[in-house]
Amino acid sequence: MTRVAITGIGVVAPSAIGIEKFSEFLDGGKTAAAVIDRFDTRGLSTHTAALVRDFVAKDFIAPMKLRRMNTLSRFAVASARLAMTDRGAELSDAAGVAMGTAFGPVQTSVDYMQEYVEKGAALAPPQLFAESVANAPGSHVGIEFGLRGFNVTVTQRESSALAALMYAASQVAKGTVPAAIAGGVEEVSEIVFGVLDRLGALGECSRPFDRRRNGMVVGEGAAVLILEPKGSDAAYAYVSGFGIARDPTATISDWGEGAESVVAAMRAAIDDADLSIAAIDAIYASANSTRRADRLEYRAIQSLFSEVPPVVATKGYFGEYAAGGALQVVAAALAIRDQKLHASIGFAEADDEMRFKPTAKQSKGELRHVLVNSISAGGGIVSAVLSREPA
């Protein structure tokens, strides 16, 4: 594909607001996961999540507008504003928006239904209903900045953010829009956390690729990237290729055994970037500390690469789902900008069949092309290549 520049990044993440704070957070090598104090987790088997704790919405959104936004929309608008500031100017009104979210504003839906049951249809707040749909955050971003291009929301579980990035980058590359905002947004709500706990998907701590892994840590927040067809010396990196595939062995709520499908997505992304497999300098892995997903990914990596490049597992920092997927892409872009691989955290001991270890510490190195993977329960797979040069 024609390479697309990443010219601005906005982050509302657990333990970090803003791109430079997020970079410092990654440099610190510590997880943002902590015991949940937002809602009662008694009776559940897990009690940990990566929550946004220092976000002040009124710093980014006018009070009258703030009242009409739920938490997800606030995260999205604030991160978009931070990205505009990072770019140095607002975008043309012809720009598009593509946001990913795994679950959308579930808590808003719960709040609306409670009002509906207590007060009836005539008195239930209509604004709550309007905010209960998954595309509310992306819509608010478009309204806030007057953007008239496409406005798309993607829900593909863990791969939502990377799928949104793929759509937006392809439209910019084709010239459909002069620029686009793309990213992911998520909220840790009591109902979603409870369901995931009962499904056995959660763990108390994130151990990507480690033999002791027993479940993911969920995270929240938002991250957006501004995409433009022509960059400058200030571009973080360039989106140069995408690949998608589906694992037909997966169930609706779990990962499968189809390593060849993950291989197909990675190979397609590398081919789309017009690169050889040997040109990949690092992999920012999907690894989320679940038994099946991590095994699926490391088998695929070992199958595709005769010599595995450095593998970085970032979900231990900020958790999983659409915000985590977007932050994973941001981490890869920072790696290219700074020519520095981040440390993976939570890993100590590999499965017997695993032939590589994720990065143990931060390190400098020449990073020309970085592969980013996202593998979702249900079988969706998206891979992308970020590159240092515009061509």
**pLDDT tens column, 199-228:** 999 999 999 999 999 999 999 999 999 999
Residue 255 sits in the same domain as residue 223: no
Q: Does residue 233 form part of some domain?
A: no
DSSP string spanning 228-261? ESS--TT--EEEEEEEEEE-TT--TTS--S-HHH
pTM for the model: 0.96
Burial code (b: 16+ CB inside 10 Å, e: under 16) for 265-293 equals bbbbbbebbebeeeebbbbbbbbbbbbeb
DSSP string spanning 362-377? -EE---SEEEEEEE-T
Q: H/E/C letters for each residue in 168-219?
A: HHHHHHHCCCCCEEEEEEECCCHHHHHHHHHCCCECCCCCCCECCCCCECEE
Residue 260 sits in the same domain as residue 171: no
**pLDDT tens column, 107-156:** 888 887 888 788 887 777 777 788 889 999 999 999 999 999 999 999 99
CA 197 to chain CA mean position, Å: 21
Residue 109's Cβ-count burial label (10 Å; 0-12, 13-18, 19+) is: buried
Q: Does residue 298 form part of some domain?
A: yes
Q: Does residue 104 form part of some domain?
A: yes
Q: What is the CATH number of the domain that holds 361?
A: 3.40.47.10
Residue 165 sits in the same domain as residue 183: yes
Q: Does residue 137 form part of some domain?
A: yes
Q: Does residue 327 form part of some domain?
A: yes
Q: Does residue 91 form part of some domain?
A: yes
Indicate the number of domains in the chain. Answer: 2
Residue 224 sits in the same domain as residue 248: no
Residue 338's Cβ-count burial label (10 Å; 0-12, 13-18, 19+) is: middle
* Inter-residue contact 331 to 27 (CB < 8 Å): no
Domain closes at, from 228, 257, 280: 228
Residue indicated by tokens 């704070």: 21
- Residue 72 CA: distances (Å) to CA of 79, 217, 240: 11, 19, 29
Domain closes at, from 176, 201, 228: 228
Q: Does residue 294 form part of some domain?
A: yes
Residue 245 sits in the same domain as residue 117: no
Query: Which ranges of the chain have pLDDT less than 70?
Result: 232-233
Residue 278 sits in the same domain as residue 342: yes
Q: In whole angstroms, what is the distance from residue 386 CA to residue 391 CA?
A: 12
Q: In whole angstroms, what is the distance from residue 368 CA to residue 280 CA?
A: 8
Q: In whole angstroms, what is the distance from residue 295 CA to residue 356 CA?
A: 12
H-only helix segments in the chain = 19-28, 63-66, 71-87, 106-119, 126-130, 136-145, 160-174, 190-198, 259-272, 291-304, 315-318, 322-338
Residue 218 sits in the same domain as residue 275: no
Residue 193 sits in the same domain as residue 243: no
Q: In whole angstroms, what is the distance from residue 33 CA to residue 30 CA?
A: 9
Q: In whole angstroms, what is the distance from residue 261 CA to residue 330 CA?
A: 25
Residue 245 sits in the same domain as residue 283: yes
Q: Does residue 375 form part of some domain?
A: yes
What is the sign of the dihedral through the CA atoms of 89, 92, 95 and 101?
positive
- Residue 31 CA: distances (Å) to CA of 28, 34, 375: 9, 8, 21
Residue 351 sits in the same domain as residue 285: yes
pLDDT of residue 59: 96
Task: Name the average pLDDT for the chain.
Answer: 95
Q: Taking Cα atoms as reference points, which of 12, 5, 3, 6 lies closest to residue 219?
A: 12
Residue 291 sits in the same domain as residue 361: yes
Residue 215 sits in the same domain as residue 273: no
Domain that holds residue 379: 238-387
pLDDT of residue 232: 65
- Residue 236 CA: distances (Å) to CA of 91, 156, 164, 232, 257: 17, 26, 19, 9, 35
